[in-house]
Chain A
Amino acid sequence: MNTISEYWETIWQYRDTFRSGFWVTLQICVLSATGALLIGSLVAIARISPVPPLRAAGTAYVTIFRNTPLTVIMFFAAFALPELGSNADFLRIPGLDKIFGRLGTDLPYFRFAVLALSMYTAAFVCEAIRSGINAVPAGQAEAARSLGLTFIQNLRHVVLPQAWKAAIVPLGSVIIAMIKNSALAGFFGVVGDLSQSANSLTSAGGEPVIPIFIGISIGYLILTVPLGLLLDQVEKRRAVTR
């Protein structure tokens, strides 16, 4: 019992570090999730499009990013892009960098982490959306086509609204996995996120490992558990409507 209260003391002592780490992680997650959903949707559309080169490109994207370890993608983003002369400056989006201050700094590692995490997660987002689309009975799309709807109209008004319902839960799982994957950012130059904070508290600060890691776990759980609960709710409601 004594050790547990000691643990709490250590965690409480560093509450500010955990809090600031939580905000940085949250920023990475919000930006990456947005990026992943955008890129993933585009790739999914490419993969089901009637244009063969687009389909091939979409398939290639998923094959590459789904099958490469995230660590390797992070590494390429953080060390290969600079070698090619890019600091991912296109992510210095005006306006957005007012809210997410680190997007606009001279240090590119926050942008690299967001980019890598978005690209990697997008492959899984694409597949989740595609599985949703596949769940829509083929007759729906055929009926829409026979009514003279174009490919885009077909997707927008008939297929995607139904696919969305089937895809939302797997998509949520993908995003939860992404939040946990964001811990890697701290090892590729992002200073002050949850995982990097833990690292510096334990090695330079000489703090015991267990309470610190309990502390950062709480940070991740605050992000993931509510998302998981929300997904459960969505699923229940879907069961009712069916």
Chain B
Amino acid sequence: MRIKNLVAVAAIAALGLVAAACGDDSDDSSDVEVADNPTFAAGTTMERLANAGTINIGTKIDQPGFGMNNLDGKPEGFDVEISKIIAGKLGISPDKINWVETQSAVREEYIEQGKVDFITATYTINDKRKERVDFAGPYYEAGQSLMVRKGDDSIKGPEAFRAGDKTVCSVTGSTPAENIKQYLANEASQLVLFDTYDKCRDALQNEQVDAVTTDNVILLGYISKAEDAFQLAGDTFTTEPYGVGLKKGDTEFRNFINDVLEEAAESGAYEEAWKNTAGKFDSNTPELPQIDRY
């Protein structure tokens, strides 16, 4: 850790941004590359932000592995790291980022009202949302997955339920609950639905059910709190592409972010961002999905 920090400090010092590294010795954020006085075409969002030297970024603060406040009150996670990479390309160091909590329901409004310059907040791209905001990316494809007790290798994916002897829990009325039904031999004896995932987790822990199913990101959150008790089983079997939300019509900014994402995938910054955050609980390092330059 010490050597890593030294390297980081040296790299940043070379860029003439020593201040950013001070007092920041526990956090991986100092690894993010910050561009030195980048120049952008006049009138673009990039130019405005680069000149301002600060940026408002929306993220979640309650999603372990993706956007979750640490004990210092700063968000950490894969979404946060992706944002730092983008801000870095604008010449803005992580400590100059103004983080804004964006809960699911308010994301479009915050973008439209200009409260944030862009959002990385487990934000699934879909057509309905595209009517109000634009999306760069996707930078990650989440999807429905299964969580099992640690060491249980009998379930490798949803096909395991076809035989009819394995039970699964989800939340009543949720899309994952509907999705899993097609894999079940007998709903009455295999499926349990509760109102919260906490109850499913308890049922899994006490061996009433063999698996819990929902989006892998939510499952990662539970695994992050009890790594000795649970693990993911198999790959995701649905697709939820996460994008960077930004103001509708700002195509230059969108193209810029898309370029940044592709560069980050090539340079390995993307992989490193994953490994330092959500990758701690999910060993499947994702590849950057095909960017959708619509």
Q: Is A1 interfacial (CB 8 A cutoff)?
A: no
Contacts of B188 in A (CB 8 A): 24, 101-102, 105, 107, 191-192
* Residues on A with beta carbons closer than 8 Å to the beta carbon of B187: 191-192
Whether the pair B191, A191 counts as a contact (CB closer than 8 A) is yes
**Identity of the chain B residue whose Cβ is nearest the Cβ of A84 in the assembled complex:** B206
Q: Establish whether residues B172 and A102, one from each chain, have CB atoms under 8 Å apart when the complex forms.
A: no
B173 on the A face (CB < 8 A): yes
* CA A203 to CA B176, docked complex, whole Å: 12
Q: Which residues of A contact B209 (CB under 8 A)?
A: 107
Q: Is A200 an interface residue (CB 8 A)?
A: yes
**Most chain A CB within a 10 A radius of its CB, from B178, B187, B190, B193:** B193
A109 pairs with B172, CB closer than 8 A: no
Tell me, rounded to whole Å, the shortest Cβ–Cβ distance linking A135 to chain B.
43
B208 touches A191 (CB 8 A): no
B203 touches A82 (CB 8 A): yes
In the assembled complex, the CB of A218 is this many whole angstroms from the nearest CB of chain B, namely 21
> Is the beta-carbon distance between A200 and B194 smaller than 8 angstroms?
no
Assembled-state Cα–Cα distance A82/B190 (Å): 17
Mark B204-247 against chain A: 1 for CB-CB distance below 8 A, else 0. 00111100000000000000000000000000000000000000
CA distance A83 to B209 in the complex (A): 13
With contact pairs A82-B203, A200-B172 given, residues A107 and B190 touching in the complex (Cβ less than 8 Å)? yes
Once the chains bind, are A102 and B189 in contact (CB under 8 Å)?
yes
Known: A105-B188, A189-B192, A191-B191. A199 touches B208 (CB 8 A): no
Main secondary structure of the interface of A (DSSP, over half): helix
Task: Tell yes or no: B174 within 8 A of A by CB.
Answer: yes
Interface residues of A in 115-148 (CB under 8 A from B): none
Chain B residues within an 8 Å CB radius of A102 = 188-189
A203 with B172, Cβ < 8 A, contacts A101-B188, A107-B167 known: yes
Distance (whole angstroms) from the CB of A198 to the closest CB of chain B: 10
B182 in contact (CB, < 8 A) = no
> Which B residues lie within 8 Å of A41 (CB)?
none
The CA of A196 and the CA of B173, in the complex, are separated in Å by 9
Judge whether A79 and B202 touch: CB under 8 Å: yes
Q: Which residues between 166 and 223 of chain A lie within 8 Å of chain B, taking CB atoms?
A: 186-189, 191-192, 196, 199-200, 202-205
* Cα A75 to Cα B106 with chains together (Å): 34
Q: Which A residues from 77 to 111 make CB contacts under 8 A with B?
A: 79, 82-83, 87, 101-102, 105-109
Residues of A within 8 A of B194 (CB): 187-189
* Contact assessment for A106 and B189 in the assembled complex, using a CB-CB cutoff below 8 Å: yes
**A24→B189 CA distance, assembly (Å):** 13
Query: A196 and B189 in contact (CB under 8 A), knowing A82-B206, A204-B177?
Result: no
| Cβ distance B168 to chain A, nearest Cβ, rounded Å | 10
Kindly state the separation between the CA atoms of A217 and B235 in the bound complex, as whole angstroms.
Answer: 41
Taking a contact as CB atoms under 8 Å apart, the answer to whether B203 and A204 are in contact is no
B208 touches A108 (CB 8 A): yes
Q: Are A204 and B206 in contact (CB under 8 A)?
A: no
C-alpha spacing A210/B273, complex, angstroms: 47
- Most chain A CB within a 10 A radius of its CB, from B191, B203, B207: B203
- B window 163-199: CB within 8 A of A: 165, 167, 172-175, 177-178, 187-195, 199
In the complex, the answer to whether B172 meets A79 with C-beta atoms within 8 Å is no
- What's the Cα separation between A204 and B177 when bound, in Å? 8
Within the complex, the shortest CB–CB distance from B214 to chain A, in Å, comes to: 12
B208 touches A204 (CB 8 A): no
Could you tell me the distance between the alpha carbons of A83 and B205 in the complex, rounded to whole angstroms? Answer: 9
Provide the residues of chain B in CB contact with A79, threshold 8 Å.
199, 202-203, 206
Contact A83 B206 (CB under 8 A): yes
Q: Which residue of A lies closest to B199 (CB)?
A: A79
Our pick among A24, A87, A191, A199 for the contact of B192 (Cβ within 8 Å) is A191
Q: Footprint of B on A, CB under 8 Å?
A: 24, 79, 82-83, 87, 101-102, 105-109, 186-189, 191-192, 196, 199-200, 202-205
* 18 sampled A-B residue pairs with Cβ under 8 A: A24-B188, A102-B189, A106-B189, A107-B167, A107-B189, A186-B172, A187-B195, A189-B192, A189-B193, A191-B188, A191-B191, A196-B193, A199-B173, A200-B172, A200-B173, A200-B177, A203-B172, A204-B175
Please list the 8 inter-chain residue pairs (A to B) with the smallest Cβ-Cβ separation, ordered nearest first. Answer: A203-B173, A105-B189, A82-B206, A204-B173, A189-B192, A204-B178, A200-B173, A191-B191
Starting from the known contacts A83-B206, A107-B189, A205-B178, 13 additional A-B residue pairs (CB-CB under 8 Å) come to A79-B206, A82-B206, A87-B208, A101-B189, A106-B167, A106-B189, A107-B192, A107-B208, A107-B209, A187-B172, A191-B188, A199-B173, A203-B172
